[in-house]
Chain A
């Protein structure tokens, strides 16, 4: 098999991946950029983003305020140098997208409109009705496909990174249409593969958002960071888990318990429903646990009340979630409460990278949700992720391009490719056990949902770790029915399960290690935040026996940690 060579390879074609591709290609038209994605770019999970993109654009707002909101929202685990950079770059990205054609919703005088959002002290969420992700993605896609020096490899499933002597040299991927293993070489590689909340059952995530890039980097020796911090979005639609945007609360929606009470006044009396996500998710969970959840055929839930907004406003600002609530939830928000409860939604953790998106391997970069810089620390504010993907997607593209212009392609031995083929086609596709992938997958999700959810406890985490390890052993005994090579989605499911089992193991290990509560990570047996011991990030390195943990400090520039209340 031939090895395909490119200057830059980007894995993942969501907002971060596409933005990086464009940024790299614009540095010079001599640079050749390849984008590999296991789905067609416009199918990426980024299209599901709804609420908005935060940026400081107007009088009355300031970079410092946006940064402070983000740092406080992160429960002081965010690296403040990263945050300060991030908020300053955000406006440029919003305007750039607009110039390419992004249909931002407008104020009466024709400027980009912005709405309030949880955790932000100023209405700075730029939005396109409630389909911000969809419109950003199609704008970026439209820009990328007319760029001559970007090549798309669609439905190519990346299986491993080739890192030798701490240099990222290339990767292996299965071309799904033929089922052939392909090897690619590059001078710089950007990982932009998104999050991994699919380790849970009740999640807002698309089916293929399984965090492949994180595991691939981890197995190549690059550490992951802050993996215990999984964000639970307060408003996942019952029963499917799909996202009902926080913009619904930004536009004035209420959260109601079985007693008809706007219970957030007992948890965040100032911000109410617009408190940060971790606080609202915990509040909802407590309400349900203490018996004040509404009863339904899918179990207890909380009501999201939009009735007082009126049909016109809902149709103008929240058309998607109205349609989704009707088609998938069976309720019309104009006259009924939307049944919601917390859903696994975002991974604050990811591939450890710095403010220039550089990882610890030379020539390897990470941007977007799969990375952890950390811009979001222990809890991300809504509308900051799409901004993160745009800002650091740009940075990654520019950095990778600079690196590519001053480096060369490296060789690696053919034996690496053959070994990878054996691992996958003999070891996984050809495995002659009797375990079924869907069963192991569902078991993993059950364990994570019961023991590694919003409220965690040491003994449950220990038990979860044992069960995940047991599942990893069982995975070695699977049997895949589909033995064909062409477009084998059963093999893809197995490979994704392989990746997510590692991520589950890492998440539980780090959750067990962090004996405090901070941001989205709540320990019932360690309910307080303990800055003295825990104002640091946990790094997880791959070893055969399981993740090896190290610690690095949090970068504090302007804002020493204070009490976090809303």
Chain B
């Protein structure tokens, strides 16, 4: 094919020669015009520049699921993305993750496709019923319940971007979603069987949303997993003990750690922080959250932020012992009833007291206040503390003046980054600290790799080290040669520090929260 040249784009393709067992990089310049997809470019390379380049492709229209590749860190269908829409001059193309590479961009999809054999992807009916000569009746509204999920093409982009799928036992986003598609199909009679199939590994999902973000058919696997879990939780018998403990703790003590509600403000002793139930009114409601309230390591973050507020003369108060868990992890675990109890309580406090905005430490609290009922019914003004501090630095209200001479990288927490779109503010803060050298990880921003802490997994983690997302992520940071991983979520801090210990890398790498660095610098 002959093209008009519109722009020349450089393709850096990560290849693998199986016969020499060698990984290497090949670079090509491709003349790209409007309408040219990544697949068109790969075909151009193979036809004109290098016949040995190997990749899969078939339908060219996003229906067959053959052509998944990673482009600049993001999994996508090569046939369904226009090169010029990516807006860059250099494209880094790699095979999909989480699957063994056979050659160049071709991966072994058997581990992924074998999941479907496990879940019985056809209607479960008795032999008698199958003899019916006419169709099973199904209304259009019942049809709509599962139609969106039934168009999954088994392209494996979700599986490739899934942090839980580093454990080969995990059914994967699409496997779980397809299982649910049959549960919800009114014609299916296999509910208990299907719940059992799902319940074995469904708890590994951390609700990071990568699957939903990358699905070419816009299937919301992340939410489907939560809905599937809620059926299992309702049923009760299939919930594993570790998860049950978390749910029971949250029910009894209003926090998933099972700590006494009366000890929720221990971290603030000596700091003389105002409590809203006493004062009734404040400018900023500082919503601390469970982990920073009770966990020793994260209490340091709670204190750091309080000290930053003090330095800025912010009029702030906490809810004190009246603060209950925001409920996010419980919601993601499928315990909708428990979430509602916790949320109603907090919501009633929000309605009762007088304040202008809520600032949270945890991106999980932030996310649920902004997105889930009953919080959304109140229309809260919520900020994550990185937004608050970033604004303050921009306005000159906060000046990081002391240098911190460290080479650092930033780990985007899933509930702050890909689920809430907050990528710039944390980076602006780090860039404003003198002496800090910020190096980005390969998997950053919306391609950030989950620490493995979400949806309660921080408390239920039982996987071996090589199957833990936090270990995978920490290895990535170690390879960068940085001294510090900085993050902005108490769960990420906990998970990553655990990984540093497991990898025996305490002398090489330290985990810090942004708030701690800011406090050092002001």
Contacts and interface: CB of A to CB of B under 8 A. Distances in A.
Interface of A: 39-40, 42-45, 47-48, 95, 98-101, 103-112, 129, 131, 133-135, 138-139, 141-143, 145-146, 154, 177, 206-208, 239-240, 242-243, 320, 323-324, 327-328, 330, 436-438, 442, 480-482, 484-490
B400 interface: no
Given A43-B65, A47-B153, A240-B61, 4 more contacts: A105-B140, A142-B116, A481-B51, A484-B103
A438 B51 CA distance: 9
- 6 smallest A-B Cβ distances: which pairs? A142-B121, A481-B51, A110-B137, A438-B47, A482-B52, A101-B123
A349 to B, nearest CB: 23
27 contacts: A39-B64, A43-B58, A44-B64, A45-B64, A48-B64, A99-B136, A103-B143, A103-B185, A107-B140, A110-B139, A111-B135, A131-B151, A135-B151, A145-B121, A146-B120, A206-B58, A207-B57, A239-B35, A324-B62, A327-B62, A328-B80, A486-B102, A486-B103, A487-B54, A487-B106, A489-B55, A490-B51
Interface of B is mostly: loop
Nearest to A145: B117
B121 A99 contact: no
A140 B150 CA distance: 13
Contacts of A490: 46, 51-52, 54
A323 B63 CA distance: 11
A425 to B, nearest CB: 15
B120 to A, nearest CB: 6
B58 A207 contact: yes
B466 to A, nearest CB: 25
Contacts of A42: 64-65, 153-154
B146 interface: yes
B60 A240 contact: yes
B1 A442 contact: yes
A102 to B, nearest CB: 9
A154 B102 CA distance: 14
A108 B154 contact: no
Contact of B66 (A43, A100, A108, A145): A43
A320 B150 CA distance: 13
Given A43-B64, A101-B123, A242-B60, A108 B139 contact: yes
B404 to A, nearest CB: 46
Contacts of A243: 61
Nearest to B102: A487
Contacts of B106: 487
A104 B135 CA distance: 10
A320 B109 contact: no
Contact of B143 (A105, A109, A240): A105
B211 to A, nearest CB: 18
A112 B135 contact: yes
B62 A323 contact: yes
B59 A103 contact: no
B37 interface: yes
A239 B134 CA distance: 42
A185 B137 CA distance: 44
Contact of A320 (B34, B60, B63, B110): B63
A125 to B, nearest CB: 15
Contact of A485 (B19, B64, B150): B19
B396 interface: no
Interface string B482-501: 00000000000000000000
Contacts of A111: 135, 137
A189 B384 CA distance: 65
B17 interface: yes
Interface stretch (B88-96, B125-133, B279-287): B125-133
B388 interface: no
Contacts of B109: 40
Which of A40, A101, A330, A482 gathers most chain B CB within 10 Å?
A101
A208 B64 CA distance: 12
B122 interface: yes
Contacts of B152: 138
Interface in B339-356: none
A62 to B, nearest CB: 17
Contact of B132 (A45, A99, A328, A442): A99
Contacts of B66: 39-40, 43
Contacts of A45: 58-59, 64
B99 to A, nearest CB: 13
A412 to B, nearest CB: 31
A370 B18 CA distance: 35
Nearest to A329: B35
A139 B121 CA distance: 8
B62 A47 contact: no
A552 B257 CA distance: 81
Interface string B64-86: 11100000000000001010000
A399 B419 CA distance: 55
Contacts of B122: 100-101, 139, 142-143, 146
B182 interface: yes
A206 B143 contact: no
Contacts of B102: 177, 486-487
Contacts of A208: 58
A134 B147 contact: no
Nearest to B117: A145
Contacts of A328: 35, 37, 60-61, 80
Given A40-B109, A327-B80, A103 B121 contact: no
A440 B133 CA distance: 52
B138 interface: yes
A484 B185 contact: no
B113 interface: yes
B121 A47 contact: no
B60 A207 contact: yes
B80 A206 contact: no
A146 B117 contact: yes
B278 interface: no
A400 to B, nearest CB: 23
Given A47-B153, A48-B59, A442-B1, A98 B80 contact: no
Contacts of A482: 51-52, 54
Contacts of A240: 35, 60-61
B139 A106 contact: yes
Contacts of B129: 99
Nearest to A480: B51
Given A48-B63, A480-B51, A490-B46, A95 B135 contact: yes
Given A99-B130, A486-B18, A108 B153 contact: no
A108 B142 CA distance: 11
A107 B142 CA distance: 12
Nearest to A42: B154
B17 A39 contact: no
Which of B51, B52, B146 gathers most chain A CB within 10 Å?
B51
A134 B153 contact: yes
B49 to A, nearest CB: 10
Contacts of B234: none
Nearest to B147: A103
B187 interface: yes
A44 B109 CA distance: 15
B50 interface: yes
Contacts of A145: 116-117, 121
A47 B151 CA distance: 11
A47 B63 contact: yes
Contacts of B120: 142, 146
Contacts of A146: 117, 120-122
A323 B135 CA distance: 30
B52 A101 contact: no
B48 interface: yes
Given A101-B123, A108-B140, A139-B122, A95 B61 contact: no
Interface string B98-110: 0000110010011
Given A110-B139, A480-B51, A485-B19, A99 B65 contact: no
A437 B62 CA distance: 26
